[in-house]
Structure 1
């Protein structure tokens, strides 16, 4: 049985020890697709796995979202020595954000420990309940309890802060309809914002939360806003990334990465979008699976 613990809605403060002396902040992309995984020859350059981003900061391992890219990340971690301690932050409980969790191999190793964070879903379910439900029959053959690692669940309210020694993770609800959280990770004079549920119709409260999280960050990871998952024309595709670009300009963001690519967006099309985005924001690029970015602090 896994050892699980549930805490209430509060600010979470933990002190952890690490043998990693590295004084660095590294971001790595393991899944960059939105809505549904799209493995094919037309998506091989940018990648077809759904959302998963790893941040290695001050010797700590932070994971944002657990789409199918989490399986690839977990497989790479099996080469590391146990015990492993990591922190998983979910933006929401939709399938493309959690579907890789049942296949996260390090969670089946008893020596490991994972702190798991998320806000309540639109139906009121906690992140623990959402992860448990997707591993119940008939959706999955084995329940969450087969995971042998220690799983510590934390429910986050909008505005909560998670403090890990000198690393601070601030959260806010940035999309009320989707019940989606945004995150800002701060360490020394470094800062990264992870905001993957931006949309064009955000109200004043949501916009204020977004601006507080992204103001002056060294790196903003954001989505291109999506239309419903139906056949679509690319004639208006430029409008889909302008939300993130406009916010980046307004907030004085140093670097912008657009992730969560639409399932219909093939590599050649994304190449053309990359050119257009750089013309609108010179320090912008599209995320690719395997992309590794060192975070450079603002002077």
Structure 2
């Protein structure tokens, strides 16, 4: 690992309901555990795409990487508990907003002493570190138990944009995606394969921001991006094309091979997202809408 501060031929498979398999050497696999933005939305109208907030797992040549810790992290944790073996993983947070960190207090493997988790994030807009943000949300009256009750080894790393984290032959690069939210994106590279996790695109980005993002995601095998949306009070299904267009334009302009749109708005029910899927594919044939349980194989 370097440049950051230590603080206190691609193929894809369709959705599977099975657990992500053990990753033998040479594999690069992505699984979605939470695909909802802003707030969890469990209901009969969101059962196909899922109601848990953001969490994506990547297996890269035996390394376990997690991106964001929304409520999908709880489901991932329950699956890991079934393995009944010591775990080491790396958790990367895009920002400290509640929908990105709210699953962490319910991440059961963090309460087991034999496990080790490396936790990465940038400073929030108020200057708080990722450790401080996770610590604060577990204080009374928000949560009954403080972070200190987690018995696993927790190592925190303060990231800044435009640096690299090296995990043997896997490289994770960061970039500032949204200045207002202080959100970062991640590009994971192994050999000639790469996946970009860029989930805070916004409609009002200026030309400098757009160029920086396009350079960051240039030519990736898989781009995971959000469908930009307006605040919940003004969400309007009649203008749905404006919501996913930023992600599609980025994929087209950067020569991305595959696009997965995630962070669906809480008001977007399954039937509506089905129609959005049709519209996205008409504009970008290799584009899909992510749903919980979806597994994509980047490299065999």
Q: Same fold (TM over 0.5)?
A: yes
Q: 2:156 & 2:215 partners in 1: Cα distance?
A: 26
Q: Are positions 1:125 and 2:128 aligned together?
A: yes
1:52 alignment partner in structure 2: 55
**How far apart, CA to CA, are the structure 2 residues paired with 1:273 and 1:41?**
19
Paired position in structure 1 for 2:14: none
Report Cα offsets for 1:94-132 as digits up to 9, x if no partner.
000000000000000000000000000000000000000
Match of residue 160 from structure 2:
157
SS at match of 2:161: coil
**Contact 1:10–1:156 (8 Å) recurs in 2:** yes
For residues 185 and 262 of structure 1, the distance between their equivalents in structure 2, rounded to whole angstroms, comes to 26
- 2:251 alignment counterpart: 248
Q: Residues of 2 paired with 1:10 and 1:85: CA distance?
A: 20
Unaligned runs of at least 5 residues, structure 2: 7-21
Instruction: Name the CA distance, whole Å, in 1 between partners of 2:270 and 2:176.
Output: 32
Give the Cα–Cα distance (whole angstroms) in 2 for the partners of residues 106 and 197 of structure 1. Answer: 28
Deviations 1:143-188 (A, max 9, x none): 0000000000000011111100000000011100000000000001
Q: Which residue of 1 aligns with 2:146?
A: 143
Q: Does 1:181 align with 2:147?
A: no
Instruction: Indicate conservation of the 8 Å contact 1:218/1:296, yes or no.
Output: no
Task: Give a deviation string over 1:19-59, Cα, whole Å, max 9, x none.
Answer: 96431000000000000000000000000000000000110
Q: How many residues are treated as equivalent by the alignment?
A: 285
Q: How does 1:264-283 map to 2 (within 5 A)?
A: 264-283=267-286
Q: After the TM superposition, which of the residue ranges 19-28 and 268-277 deviates more from structure 2?
A: 19-28
CA deviations 1:219-278 (Å, max 9, x no partner) are: 000000010121532111111100010010000000000000000000000000000000
What CA distance in whole angstroms lies between the structure 2 residues aligned with 1:187 and 1:80?
26
Output the CA distance in 1 between the equivalents of 2:142 and 2:42.
21
- In structure 2, C-alpha distance between the alignment counterparts of 1:205 and 1:104, rounded to whole Å: 38
Aligned to 1:111: 114
Three-state SS of the structure 1 residue aligned to 2:94 is: coil
Please give the TM-score of this superposition, normalised by the length of structure 1: 0.92
Who is 1:16 aligned against?
none
Aligned to 1:167: 170
Is the contact between residue 68 and residue 91 of structure 2 (CA under 8 Å) also seen in structure 1?
yes
Q: Which runs of 4+ in 1 moved over 4 A?
A: none
Please tell me the root mean square deviation across aligned C-alpha atoms, in Å: 1.7
SS at match of 2:233: coil
